[in-house]
């Protein structure tokens, strides 16, 4: 067997065997397969397609390229949530504490933000002192003790995914359902968790722009999980608008805090759906009511604070004064009267990047305390002179005002409030 035969087989539309996929990924890791050969194969996969069987075998080959985590001491209670990436998405800070408050064990390994999507680790690091680098034993002990931990993805887990992703990113080969599904699911399966809820974002601010593609990805990932004997449910959610009013790293911690303290908005709806759908699939009765109880009685907020404290963060900083404390604050004032038709997630995320709060390449250093706080939702009525957003910045950037204004489209027609939950795949 050699890599040229494998590329040729895919180019001619043949299904790759498990042995061929293992040979390829082993070659990626050893260096025997060159980056240009992998790039050619990835492009052939995008053009010809990748079957369910191939996707499953690639997932397993990626897992086998590195180490896995053993959570057998609390396996049946172990839960995790994964988002395919969006704007204003801080559901982890609500979902994980709800699970922990209900007695489940939430073991979460997260990443940093790249491009328009924010990263959980950056958001957590806006809380002074927070340590994202627990070792395996500290991670497990914290979950056993308080029910939740969020740490950085280990470099030893799924190293082949890192190599493949770096090539996909620069060869326009990201958006293939099989490649995305194997990339996400390899990391989820290697993390050793039994019960997994996937938030598949759909819309202008997501990888999957249309509902059919998002559903196909959701189905594929659920199938991979089931075949690996995991309990997996996927929820397709609306990413045509920023999920929360707060976008930007420290701002998103504040956005999640508001929900933990009682606000009931779109972020709440998505978070409560993710938790209750996973609990339903685990056979828990009245799951949504149970999640609401721990949100309403402050138990979830307590768990969030326990986690921050356990990982060295200063909980006295969990307030608006600290999390929204940039040097400059600009009001975005509308000069129109009408209804909010649309809030472009890419326009808002692009503004945060311009303010210094987002990365264009993985090595960029970012400002964790800048962002946009929307004051309106889609379908709201606004009058000329109303403040429709606030911009938090540590540099003088009045030009951001126009960018945010452009992202918030106002028109004469009354529109419906958008649905946040688009589909659920079991
Ligand atoms: N997120 C991942 O981890 N991998 C992909 O391929 C796309 C999104």
Res 17 pLDDT > 80:
yes
> How far is the C-alpha of 367 from the C-alpha of 122, rounded, in Å?
9
Residues 86-106: tens digit of each pLDDT? 999 999 999 999 999 999 999
> How far is the C-alpha of 269 from the C-alpha of 275, rounded, in Å?
10
For ligand 1, which residues put their CB under 6 angstroms from it? 84-85, 174, 180, 183-184, 207
Mean pLDDT for 265-289 is 98
Mean pLDDT for 3-13 is 98
> How far is the C-alpha of 148 from the C-alpha of 286, rounded, in Å?
22
Nearest ligand 1 atom to alpha carbon 187: 3
- In this structure, the residue with its CA closest to atom 7 of ligand 1 is 180
> How far is the C-alpha of 157 from the C-alpha of 134, rounded, in Å?
15
- In this structure, the residue with its CA closest to atom 5 of ligand 1 is 180
Residue 395, token pair as written in the block: 């540099």
Is 82 catalytic? The answer is: yes
Beta strands in 203-273 (DSSP E): 231-238, 246-247
- In this structure, the residue with its CA closest to atom 3 of ligand 1 is 184
Res 286 pLDDT > 80:
yes
- Choose the residue to mutate in 83, 164, 180 for probing ligand 1, maximizing ligand atoms within 8 Å of C-beta: 180
Helix axes 3-11, 18-30, angle to 10 degrees: 130
Mean pLDDT for 395-416 is 97
Residue 10, token pair as written in the block: 């895919």
Residue 144, token pair as written in the block: 């056993």
Helix axes 211-227, 52-64, angle to 10 degrees: 60
Residues 107-124: tens digit of each pLDDT? 999 988 777 787 899 999
Using a pLDDT cut of 70, give the percent of the chain over it. 100
pLDDT-based confidence at residue 361 (cuts at 50, 70, 90): confident
In 10 A of CB 238, how many CB atoms?
A: 24
CA of 352 to the centre of ligand 1 (A): 22
pLDDT for the residue 85: 87
Is 168 catalytic? The answer is: yes
pLDDT for the residue 117: 80
CA distances from 258 to 253, 296, 354 (A): 9, 12, 26
pLDDT for the residue 114: 72
pLDDT for the residue 175: 82
pLDDT for the residue 15: 98
pLDDT for the residue 422: 98
Contact 150, 307 (CB under 8 A): yes
pLDDT for the residue 362: 79
Contact 53, 212 (CB under 8 A): no
CA of 394 to the centre of ligand 1 (A): 31
Is 187 catalytic? The answer is: yes
Contact 4, 40 (CB under 8 A): no
- Choose the residue to mutate in 174, 176, 216 for probing ligand 1, maximizing ligand atoms within 8 Å of C-beta: 174
pLDDT-based confidence at residue 174 (cuts at 50, 70, 90): confident
Mean pLDDT for 176-196 is 96
Mean pLDDT for 19-30 is 98
CA of 40 to the centre of ligand 1 (A): 19
| Least reliable range by pLDDT among 133-142, 146-155, 268-277, 358-367 | 358-367
Active-site hit among 116, 168, 194, 219: 168
- In this structure, the residue with its CA closest to atom 6 of ligand 1 is 180
- How many helices (DSSP H) and strands (DSSP E) are in the chain? 17, 13
Active-site hit among 187, 215, 303, 390: 187
Nearest to 301 by CA among 101, 78, 105: 101
Q: Is 198 helix (H, G, I), strand (E, B) or coil?
A: strand
Residue 117 backbone phi and psi in degrees, to 5: -90, 140
Res 380 pLDDT > 80:
yes
Look up the pTM and report it: 0.95
Nearest to 193 by CA among 142, 243, 143, 235: 143
Is 359 catalytic? The answer is: no
Residue 401's H or E segment, with its range, is helix 399-407
Pairing of strands 78-83, 105-110: parallel
> How far is the C-alpha of 217 from the C-alpha of 180, rounded, in Å?
8
Residue found under tokens 């073991």: 107
Nearest ligand 1 atom to alpha carbon 180: 6
Is 327 catalytic? The answer is: no
pLDDT for the residue 360: 81
């Amino acid at each position: 067997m050699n890599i040229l035969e494998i590329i040729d087989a895919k180019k001619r539309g043949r299904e790759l065997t498990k042995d061929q996929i293992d040979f390829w990924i082993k070659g990626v890791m050893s260096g025997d397969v060159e980056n240009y050969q992998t790039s050619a194969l990835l492009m052939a996969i995008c053009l010809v397609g990748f079957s369910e069987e191939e996707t499953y075998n690639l997932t397993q080959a990626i897992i086998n390229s590195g180490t896995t985590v053993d959570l057998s001491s609390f396996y049946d209670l172990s839960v995790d949530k994964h988002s395919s990436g969006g704007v204003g998405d801080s559901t982890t800070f609500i979902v994980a504490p709800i699970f922990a408050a209900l007695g489940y064990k939430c073991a979460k390994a997260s990443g940093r933000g790249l491009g328009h999507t924010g990263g959980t680790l950056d958001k957590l690091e806006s809380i002074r002192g927070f340590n994202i680098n627990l070792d395996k034993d500290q991670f497990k002990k914290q979950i056993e003790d308080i029910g939740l931990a969020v740490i950085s993805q280990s470099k030893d887990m799924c190293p082949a995914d890192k190599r493949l992703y770096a090539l996909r990113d620069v060869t326009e080969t990201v958006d293939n359902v099989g490649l995305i599904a194997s990339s996400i699911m390899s990391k989820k399966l290697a993390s050793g968790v039994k019960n997994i809820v996937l938030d598949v974002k759909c819309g202008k601010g997501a990888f999957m722009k249309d509902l059919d593609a998002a559903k196909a990805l959701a189905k594929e990932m659920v199938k991979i999980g089931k075949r690996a004997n995991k309990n997996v449910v996927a929820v397709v959610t609306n990413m045509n608008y920023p999920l929360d009013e707060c976008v930007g790293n420290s701002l998103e911690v504040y956005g999640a805090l508001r929900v933990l303290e009682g606000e009931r908005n779109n972020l709440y709806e998505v978070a409560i759906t993710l938790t209750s759908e996973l609990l339903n699939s685990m056979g828990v009765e009245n799951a949504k009511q149970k999640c609401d109880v721990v949100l309403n009685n402050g138990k979830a907020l307590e768990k969030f604070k326990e986690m921050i404290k356990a990982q060295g963060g200063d909980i006295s900083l969990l307030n608006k004064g600290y999390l929204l404390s940039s040097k400059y604050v600009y009001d975005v004032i509308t000069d129109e009267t009408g209804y909010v038709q649309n809030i472009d997630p890419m326009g808002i995320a692009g503004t945060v990047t311009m303010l210094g709060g987002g990365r264009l390449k993985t090595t960029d250093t970012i400002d964790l305390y800048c962002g946009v706080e929307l004051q309106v939702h889609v379908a709201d009525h606004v009058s000329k002179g109303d403040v429709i957003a606030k911009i938090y910045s540590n540099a003088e950037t009045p030009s951001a005002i126009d960018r945010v204004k452009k992202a918030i489209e106002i028109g004469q027609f009354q529109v419906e409030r958008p649905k946040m939950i688009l589909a659920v795949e079991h």
